[in-house]
Amino acid sequence: MTTFGTRLEHAFNTFGQLCVGIDPHPDVLSDWGLPDDARGLRECGMRVVEASAGRAGIVKPQVACFERHGVAGLQVLAEVIAAAKSAGLLVIADAKRGDIGSTMEAYAEAWLNPQRDFGVDALTVSPFLGFATLQPAVQAAAQYEAGLFVLALTSNAEGQQVQLARDEDGQTVAGRIVRSVAASNAAAADQGKMGSIGLVVGATTAHLAEQNGIDLVAGSPPLLAPGYGAQGATAQSIRSGFGAAWGQVLVNSSRAILAAGPETHGLVSNIEQARTDLQ
């Protein structure tokens, strides 16, 4: 095994900077002619995995879409994660977990230990209970050679009220999170490698980083950027929004790819188009 940062760099070099979102919303299932139940979830998830394998390096299941179906949905999530891993895809679970340290330890074990049902390559986490509460997850990421993506500057406009709030020193909340992540990646950055502790920075909001004096390059964190396609960001706006940090960016697209419908050729065509646009 190698660190998550190294595996991600390899995926970038092989397949480019696209992450295919697996978001089986009720509308998607209905458009695909599938039932809004565990069978529909499985069919949708497996088709996205099949279309992504060998064409994209990374997939991101949205955990909420599976959780919505209770135990049966979570069973399907475990199956989709296993299928994606077997197909050679890196899997990022978008669960946005965050809690006090002792509970965070349990979340980290559930999502980052590869022996567990939901063991994935990386997990999205929330630092809004204090960055230090994520320490057990940072430790688990090192132990299991997994990664984290820490919410910093999310793609939704409402996030800015919290994330761009300034403290008495004039520092933004997002800026403090970004600096804490850079410090967590110091060892990898010293070796010129991509870190395993990343950030979530919206494709729609990336331009706000530079405007607010937030340095996304320091520490070489991978930057998970949702917001491409369905939320309005374009390949051009993302490149210009991230500027010098573009090489670290993993662009997620969920609904825009799934809009192809259930046929493999349509999904493949949308994945390849997104890859080309992002080159």
Kindly tell me the burial class for residue 168, based on how many C-beta atoms sit within 10 Å of its own C-beta (0-12, 13-18, 19 or more): exposed
- Taking the least distance from each CB to ligand LLZGTKA7, the nearer of 125 and 141 is 125
- Taking the least distance from each CB to ligand LLZGTKA7, the nearer of 108 and 152 is 152
- Taking the least distance from each CB to ligand LLZGTKA7, the nearer of 148 and 200 is 200
Q: Decide if 85 is catalytic.
A: no
Tokens (6 digits) for 17: 């900077």
User: φ, ψ for residue 230 (rounded to 5)?
Assistant: -60, -30
Nearest approach in angstroms of CB 92 to ligand LLZGTKA7 is: 10
For 82, the enclosing helix (H) or strand (E) is helix 70-86
Nearest approach in angstroms of CB 187 to ligand LLZGTKA7 is: 27
- Taking the least distance from each CB to ligand LLZGTKA7, the nearer of 180 and 254 is 254
Enumerate binding residues for ligand LLZGTKA7 (CB under 6 A).
21, 23, 62, 94, 154-155, 200, 202, 226-227, 229-231, 252-256
Report the C-alpha gap between 42 and 188 in whole angstroms: 37
Tokens (6 digits) for 190: 């010293």
Residue found by looking up tokens 């349509």 in the block: 266
| Contacts of 137 by beta carbon, 8 Å cutoff, 6+ apart | 97, 104, 105, 107, 108, 112, 123, 125, 148
Report the C-alpha gap between 93 and 97 in whole angstroms: 10
Nearest approach in angstroms of CB 11 to ligand LLZGTKA7 is: 18
Nearest approach in angstroms of CB 231 to ligand LLZGTKA7 is: 5
Could you list the active site residues? 96
